[in-house]
Structure 1
Amino acid sequence: FGFCLEGSKRALIYDYMPNSSLDNYIYSEKPKETLGWEKLYDIAIGIARGLEYLHHGCNTRIVHFDIKPQNILLDQDFCPKIADFGLAKLCCTKESKLSMTGARGTIGFIAPEVLYRSFGVVSIKSDVYSYGMMLLEMIGGRKNVKSMVQNSSEKYFPDWIYDHFYQGDGLQACEVTSEVEEIAKKMTLIGLWCVQVLPMHRPTITQVLDMFEKALDELDMPPKQSFCESLEHPVHKLNAESTSSATDKAYAVSEILNVEEISLVNSEFLQ
């Protein structure tokens, strides 16, 4: 909306967002604060469009590096706005990768290559991973689905989502309509594609939007990954630049890479 520059004081001015942020709804224990699936679907598409603008609509690409429900603001019509660019980096449109000296992001949403370079180069697809994890949280954090989860802290979240989707037992007990089931399944498939461990296997955010336009039966099932085995790599040092403390970050990396008791979403919301 604008900015303020007065001496040493600098501030970005946003539109007032009366409906706060997305996390207040997808994790809510209060039914009146829980969004319907159709609205959740529209929000997911809106966020993807916002990311497409950052990645392809600006003169200089912007990689956000902190896509998560807390950074998605909702206006009076629940239209999403991406906020908090404190960790963002600019990238020339001719370049496909970013050089970084340390990890950045929030625990549970950081792409593997941002933590450990052997997974691939850091690029706009690092945002796609964060978006995919958020999409899976939007599904897994739903009040009428979370009762299906047991011992969520013992399994990598995409593994749990994949297994329940493949077995077809994630929504049947929730007594949802066929339309809602299709929405949830489409969001699940797209989310699983976005969180592929290797960046080269993830879609671009433009391809994500194309997937939203397709019917469910036109979407392929992503390959079953050994998420945990792929993440088992030693990390001895981590110079973190993040919204989390260095101690928490190091602990998160240990959790992700050792996968002894991993939960990429807050388990209290899924028990």
Structure 2
Amino acid sequence: MTNSFAVKLGQGGFGVVYKGKLEDGGLVAVKVLNESKGKDGQEFINEVATISKTSHVNVVTLLGFCFEGARRALIYEFMPNGSLEKFIFDENAAESSHRLNWETHYQISLGIARGLEYLHNGCNTRILHFDIKPHNILLDADFVPKISDFGLAKICTRKESVISMLDPRGTVGYIAPEVFSRNFGEVSHKSDVYSYGMMILEMVGGRKNINLRVDNTSEIYFPHWVYKRLELDEELGLKRIRNEEDRVTVRKMIIMSLWCIQTDPSNRPTMSKVIEMLEGSLDSVQVPPKPFLYSPSRSRA
């Protein structure tokens, strides 16, 4: 299927993804898991069990899998545009095709929100993803986003609003505070909302939320920097804003994201509310309280 693993599409902590072709000529992505990753295969089984329960335009489709001893692979639909990550963080592509316009950014944000809303409320069981980040959002030929990588997902009943977890799971920079410490609140579907908000802020800023390479200390932590701009009603100074429509779209995305990253989970919106904010008018969206978040200071040499 992969022609002896000839074309490598990407790599992560889980293993390597290769391009493959089915007998009918259809293209697929084959994710081959590391043998050392979850020796009992629990993460693999978890991903198969979770994603096989889903069917949504904004959730990647699992076409099949291989489970032979230590050899484990997942076969997904092929996404020609790869992951969202390269369209956000590729600094060498300032004016290239890797730079998406704001309407595309907005549609991607809305698509991911719809996919998450489906996982939280549209399935027979509630699915919490726990690893929402640009690397795990794949884009098809038309830049329709698909949520992928369900290795850390947790399935619970629709009625369960709070879940118990023995260990933090996710990627630093996107993990909700309550996943680290219960002092911040209970772990729930609102933990995915936090990760989503952090990711959308990175889309808007075109950079990691924490950037220790910038010269101005106040710009190190993007959520604080952008909140201050909103507070003072200053121009956001972001690139590629060409007209009033772009300006309104970007402000809406920022205000919505700042609601999503509120420290107290109960202050965060549900994904249904997120969709409502994105689709509504800018006037109907209020600026939230400033998120109480750690802003790293530059170490002084």
- Offset of 1:34 from its aligned partner? 0.7
1:212-251 matches, cutoff 5 A: 212-228=278-294
1:24 aligns with 2:89: no
In structure 1, what is the Cα distance between the partners aligned to 2:175 and 2:257? 14
In structure 1, what is the Cα distance between the partners aligned to 2:241 and 2:203? 18
Letter in 1 for 2:263: V
* CA RMSD after TM alignment: 2.2
> Does the CA-based 8 Å contact 2:152-2:169 persist in structure 1?
yes
Letter in 1 for 2:293: F
> Does the CA-based 8 Å contact 2:261-2:291 persist in structure 1?
no
Closer/same/farther in 2, CA of residues 152 and 15 from structure 1, 3 Å limit: farther
> Does the CA-based 8 Å contact 1:3-1:10 persist in structure 2?
no
In structure 1, what is the Cα distance between the partners aligned to 2:108 and 2:198? 15
- Offset of 1:107 from its aligned partner? 1.0
Residue in structure 1 matched with residue 100 of structure 2 by the alignment: 35
Letter in 2 for 1:20: G
Which structure's relative contact order is higher, taking Cα pairs within 8 Å and 6+ residues apart?
1
Closer/same/farther in 2, CA of residues 172 and 75 from structure 1, 3 Å limit: closer
- Structure label with greater radius of gyration: 2
1:163 aligns with 2:228: yes
Unaligned runs of 5+ in 1: 229-255, 263-271
Tell me the secondary structure at the aligned position of residue 123 of structure 1.
Answer: coil
Letter in 1 for 2:119: L
2:249 aligned residue (168, 174, 183): 183
Structure with greater helix percent:
1
> Does the CA-based 8 Å contact 2:184-2:263 persist in structure 1?
yes
In structure 1, what is the Cα distance between the partners aligned to 2:190 and 2:298? 27
Unaligned runs of 5+ in 2: 1-61
In structure 2, what is the Cα distance between the partners aligned to 1:169 and 1:107? 30
In structure 2, what is the Cα distance between the partners aligned to 1:202 and 1:190? 10
Q: How many residues align?
A: 228
Residue in structure 1 matched with residue 63 of structure 2 by the alignment: 2
Residue in structure 1 matched with residue 46 of structure 2 by the alignment: none
1:11 aligns with 2:76: no
- Offset of 1:173 from its aligned partner? 8.1
% identical aligned pairs: 52
Closer/same/farther in 2, CA of residues 11 and 153 from structure 1, 3 Å limit: farther
Say which is worse superposed, 121-130 or 86-95, in terms of deviation: 86-95
TM-score under structure 1 normalisation? Answer: 0.78
> Does the CA-based 8 Å contact 2:137-2:146 persist in structure 1?
yes
Letter in 1 for 2:73: A
2:122 aligned residue (49, 57, 60): 57
Closer/same/farther in 2, CA of residues 202 and 6 from structure 1, 3 Å limit: closer
**CA deviation string 1:85-135 (max 9, x = no partner):** 111111111111110011111110000000111000000000000000001
